[in-house]
Each structure stands twice: as structure tokens, then as C-alpha cells.
Amino acid sequence: MNDSRRPPIADSSLALLAKGYAWLPDRRPRGTGPLVRTRLMGQEAVVLHGPEAVPFFYDEQHVERRTALPGPVLRTLFGHGAVHTLDGSDHRVRKELFLSLLTGAEAVAGLVDRVAAVWDEAVESWSGRRVVLFDETSRVLTRGVCQWAGIVVEDAEPLARHLVAMVDGFATPGPRHWRARRARAHCETWLGRLVEDVRAGVVAAPAGSVLEGIVRHRDADGRLLDPHTAAVELLNVIRPTVAVCWFVTYAGHALHRRPELRERLTGDDPAYAVAFAHELRRFYPFAPFVGGRAVTDLDWLGEPIRSGTLVLLDIYGQHHDPDLWDDPYAFEPRRFMQRPPEGNELIPQGGGDRESGHRCPGEDVTIALLRALGPRLARLEYDVPDQDLRIPLTRMPARVRSGFVMDVVGVPAPVAVPVVGGARAAE
């Protein structure tokens, strides 16, 4: 059927807000072909789904990110001028910076060791107290990542609130969005001044640190990043690290719903800890989809996609597709003990090639942090008081409503969780 003869398609923006993560999974079974056609914010859009769609979506000859990210997302989550907004050689050069900072066994282990040490110190004060796991973990991650990155922070609590706000408000209108914008503006101003102070010799950046790497980085044009863009990219290291508090809280939720998993997770079994981390990232909701824009007229499995069309890749639906996963709505880490995830099946942090494409260079960090903190959480002795443990799929990003409240009874001695060879060592 020629595009010009297709009947008008209603805009789905309100349906997306109303249904949240269920919007795309609900639409796809009603489709008559390999893609779903819709409209978002008045723009023509198509939705792709499945492992075979991932390399197609992340091919820069097909889809670009630079012009597709909505302004509200840039003004809250990523920041203007961020690596996520670049394509071609500009993206590759900036991406190499992040790969040098966030991949490799030494870099991953350094960050995980720092965060784990801060966690072990923090939990000593939890015994006999009622704590909110989401809030406490956000502060632990903020202190740990800033220490590792070479950024001096006297009080991590307000910074943790700002970093959480940026993530919490990226996909919603209203008060959460405006809090996110104010938080980003505050952090960009603070870090921009820090960059200027380092370049002026007023502040010393530790050798080999993230701060030094971003302050000294030169882009594809050979120029230093301007202070604002450098601040944006510093945030794009520390913000997603702090966002791991969503998954640590989900870990508490999973262990409460399936307490029999705690014994296996507390054992000295790094492979199971990695499998548990993978299942957290598959089962629980975070990003519903990612988007780009068709750079030319395309053909996807016989279906035309016009140049300029918004192209969405369904993440939540793919992670709960019964054609890909046995019993997809059951939390079962053992599925990843039997078979490590294929690169184009599990895509909570993007797909495609990590070195040259848009897959998140911090994916190994996320897995390694969960590998270290999951067993630590399982070893805590705590009771779970009555609270609202629902995770509404109409809220984006979703989160446990209560933040997962714990009455901590006892704190065991810390047990090292080695990160030999990086996050993928046990796969």
C-alpha cells in the first residue's frame, strides 16, 4: 500500500501518557505487518520490535539520533551537546572518550570498589534504623562515583537529589519535569565552573580521573569542549551511575517477592550475581523505548519508512516478548545462567556495537555495580514493614512507590565481590 493512500493515523501522545510502558506492547499485536505506524507529538512515527530490528535501528545510514531527541529529554536527562545527540565522526570521537573512561577491567573495578566501600561504610549506620533503600542508595552512588571521578563533594545528599530528579523527570510533563530542569541547570553551572577552575589551575584534577579526561578532551575538530559541554558530559558519567539506585531498589523488591533467591545471591557465586543483574535489567521497567529519525527513505521487511519519520525501538515490549523469553513476566535469574544474553535481545542500555554505535559505554559499570551491591543487599538482615510496593507502569520512569522501606536489624561484615576482568567476567 502506497504511503500516500494510507488512512490518517491518530496521534498517540495522550495514549502514551495514559498507558506508559504498556502502550507499545498493547499496540503491537493489533498491527498488520512487521512495524506499527503511529503519530507522536504530531509527527509520523513507526515502531520496530525484536532483535533483528536492533542493528537496523542503530545503523547510522538508516537512523540518526541528533535531530530526534525531544527538547524535554535534552533539557533534563542528556543535556544539549551530549554524546547522545551526535552522529558520524563527531559521535565516534566523543564516544571514544567515554569508552576510555568507563570500560576495561581497571576502570570498572575502580568505580565498583569505591562505591562498595562507601556502601559498606553507610550500612554500618543503618542497623536498628528504618531506611528507604532508594534514597540511601542514591546517596551511596553519588558519593562513590564523585570520589572515583575526582570531583570533590562535601555533602552528597543535595547532589543526589538533583541527579535523581534529572532521571525522574525526563519522560513526564508537570512538576517532575520542571524539577529536573532546575536540577540540570544547577549542576551544569556548578560543573561548568569546576571545568574553568581546573583549566585555570585553581583546582587540581587527579591524574587519570574522569574529571581530567573530560576537561582535557578534544573533539573531532581538535578543540577543547566548551565548559558547558564538558559539564554536560561529566553529568553523563555521574548521573547514569546514580540511576543504578532504581535497579538496586528493584533488587530489594525482587528479593522480597521471591525470598528464596536470597540464599543463592548471598553465596560466593559471581556468575549468579551477574545473572541476577541481567534479570533485573530485563524484568523491571526503565526506558520504554528509544528513538531516532530516518535519514532517508527506508524499507523494513517490505514496509516503507519515509525520510524524516520518527523511528522507535520497543525496549520494554522486547524484554517481555514470549517469543524471546520463556515465561517473560516471571523474575527468573536462572535464565541467564543457562545462556548469556545475546547482544540484540537484552537492550536496556541500547543495542548495536558499543565501540562505534550508540550502545551505552557504561553498561559494564551498571552490571558490575549490581553484581557487587546485589549480594550486599541480600546479606543485610532487615524486615519489610507494610508499605506501597506497587510499580505503576503508567509512571515513566517507573519506580517502587515506597522507595522500598526496610527496618534494618543487623549488618553483616562486608564480603568482597571481585570484579576481575570487568562486569562480563562471569558470562
Cell of 360: 551505552
Give 172-193 pLDDT, tens digit per residue: 778 988 899 899 999 999 999 9
* Spatial separation of the C-alpha atoms in residues 57 and 157, rounded to whole Å: 38
What are the backbone angles phi and psi of residue 108, rounded to the nearest 5°? -65, -45
- State residue 421's pLDDT score: 40
Residue 76 falls inside a structural domain: no
Residue 4 falls inside a structural domain: no
Calculate the alpha carbon distances from 140 to 9, 46, 128, 285 in Å: 47, 40, 19, 22
- State residue 268's pLDDT score: 82
User: Structural domain of residue 252, as residue ranges?
Assistant: 87-286+325-410
The single-letter code of the amino acid at 409 is: V
pLDDT at 395 over 80: yes
Provide long-range contacts, Cβ within 8 A and 24+ apart, for 389-393. Answer: 389/253, 389/256, 391/253, 391/284, 391/285, 392/20, 393/19, 393/20, 393/21, 393/22, 393/285
Residue 172 falls inside a structural domain: yes
Q: Mapped to the 3 state alphabet, what secondary structure does the chain carry?
A: CCHHHCCCCCECHHHHHHHHHHHHHHHHHHCCCCCEEEEECCEEEEEECCCCHHHHHHCCCCEECCCCCCHHHHHHHHCCCCHHHCCHHHHHHHHHHHHHHHCCHHHHHHHHHHHHHHHHHHHCCCCCCEEEHHHHHHHHHHHHHHHHHCCCCCCHHHHHHHHHHHHHCCCCCCHHHHHHHHHHHHHHHHHHHHHHHHHHCCCCCCCCCHHHHHHHCECCCCCECCHHHHHHHHHHHHHHHHCHHHHHHHHHHHHHHCCCHHHHHHCCCHHHHHHHHHHHHHHCCCCCEEEEEECCCEEECCEEECCCCEEEEECHHHHCCCCCCCCCCCCCCCHHHHCCCCCCCCCECECCCCCCCCCCCCHHHHHHHHHHHHHHHHHCEEECCCCCCCCCCCCCCCCCCCCCEEEEEECCCCCCCCCCCCCCCCC
Q: Is the peptide bond before 397 cis (omega within 30 degrees of 0)?
A: yes
The single-letter code of the amino acid at 368 is: A
- State residue 261's pLDDT score: 96
Nearest to 144 by CA among 122, 173, 175: 122
Residue for cell digits 549468579?
Answer: 272
- State residue 78's pLDDT score: 62
Residue 16 falls inside a structural domain: no
pLDDT at 46 over 70: yes
Nearest to 401 by CA among 177, 221, 168: 168
Domain count, the chain: 1
pLDDT at 90 over 80: no
**pLDDT band of 422, cuts 50, 70, 90:** very low
* Spatial separation of the C-alpha atoms in residues 199 and 413, rounded to whole Å: 42
How confident is the prediction for the chain on average, in pLDDT?
A: 87
* Spatial separation of the C-alpha atoms in residues 361 and 350, rounded to whole Å: 10
pLDDT at 419 over 70: no
CB atoms within 10 A of CB 213: 19
More confidently predicted of 407 and 86: 407
The pTM for the full model equals 0.90
Residue 209's domain is classified under what CATH number? 1.10.630.10
pLDDT at 2 over 50: no
Residue for cell digits 510533563?
Answer: 173
- State residue 203's pLDDT score: 96
Average confidence (pLDDT) over 24-45: 79
pLDDT at 124 over 70: yes
Residue 70 falls inside a structural domain: no
pLDDT at 31 over 60: no
Residue 75 falls inside a structural domain: no
Give 341-394 pLDDT, tens digit per residue: 887 999 998 887 665 555 677 788 999 999 999 999 999 999 999 999 999 999
Residue 52 falls inside a structural domain: no
pLDDT at 5 over 60: no
Residue 37 falls inside a structural domain: no
Average confidence (pLDDT) over 67-82: 61
